Amino acid sequence: MVKLPVSYYLNEDVVGLAKSLLGKVIYTAIDGELTSGVIVETEAYNGHTDRASHAFGGRLTPRTKTMYENGGVAYVYLCYGMHHLLNVVTGPLNQPQAVLIRGVEPKDGLITMLQRRKLDKLSSRLSAGPGVLANALGVDLNCNGKSLLGNEIWIEDHGIEIPSDLIVCGPRIGVDYAGEDALLDWRFYVKGNQFVSKPNK
């Protein structure tokens, strides 16, 4: 299988890229355990013009520095003091764009993921939601700034195409504080998939 090339991540259309990530397969090889899942839910965060983004207004801090990197690295952020959120940095250097991975459908390393999540059987609770999927994949702050072309975390294209009538867009989750920007339809997910984080019936 082929890892997505750097050129894929350099696309400046972060919203379109968030949509195209649906159906791609994300892999992690952490602590010697290979795990992977098909991406079924994403959100776009568009740099300095997006109030919901950490980099809004051109803020550059030790934490957000990763978002300014060239596309193709991971941006991992600790939220609420207990949850890791996994983002894919996109766009050219100094353009702070990123795509938040909110839901994946488990594929390889299921046993490992179940152990990490302290579950004894497969359920949508395994990896539906940005905090829990990072936990299932073994992603933590050590992955922040890691290249997506390395051998610890990467994304492959398995040729999975989501039919356009199954791709749904809508407002992003948990960003009410962002004012008008909270209303933008920058969240994409696969209709009917049980590993989408929000009630999806």
Partner DNA sequence: TCAGCGATTAACT
Partner DNA sequence: GTTAATCGCTGAA
Residue 107 contacts DNA per CB under 7 A: no
Nearer to DNA (CB atom), residue 20 or residue 90: 90
Integer angstrom CA distances of residue 165 from 76, 121, 157, 162, 168: 31, 31, 20, 8, 8
Residue 175 contacts DNA per CB under 7 A: yes
The enclosing H or E element of 167 equals strand 167-170
Shortest Cβ distance from residue 98 to DNA (Å)?
5
Residues 136 and 127 sit within 8 Å (Cβ to Cβ): yes
Shortest Cβ distance from residue 83 to DNA (Å)?
5
Nearer to DNA (CB atom), residue 59 or residue 107: 59
Which window, 3-11, 16-24, 125-133, 155-163, contacts DNA (CB under 7 A)? 125-133
Structure tokens at 24: 């791609």
Scan for tokens 């972060």, then name that residue. 14
Nearer to DNA (CB atom), residue 11 or residue 124: 124
Separation CA 3–CA 197 (nearest Å)? 26
Pairing state between β 74-79 and 2-3: unpaired
Q: Which of residues 20-59 bind DNA (CB under 7 A)?
A: 43, 45, 52-54, 59
Residue 143 contacts DNA per CB under 7 A: no
DSSP 3-state of 76: strand
Integer angstrom CA distances of residue 180 from 52, 88, 102: 10, 24, 21
Nearer to DNA (CB atom), residue 88 or residue 162: 88
Binding mask 63-102 for DNA (x = CB under 7 A): xx--x-------x-xxxxxxx-x-x----------x-x--
Binding stretches for DNA (CB under 7 A) = 43, 45, 52-54, 59, 61-64, 67, 75, 77-83, 85, 87, 98, 100, 117, 125, 129-133, 173-175, 177, 197
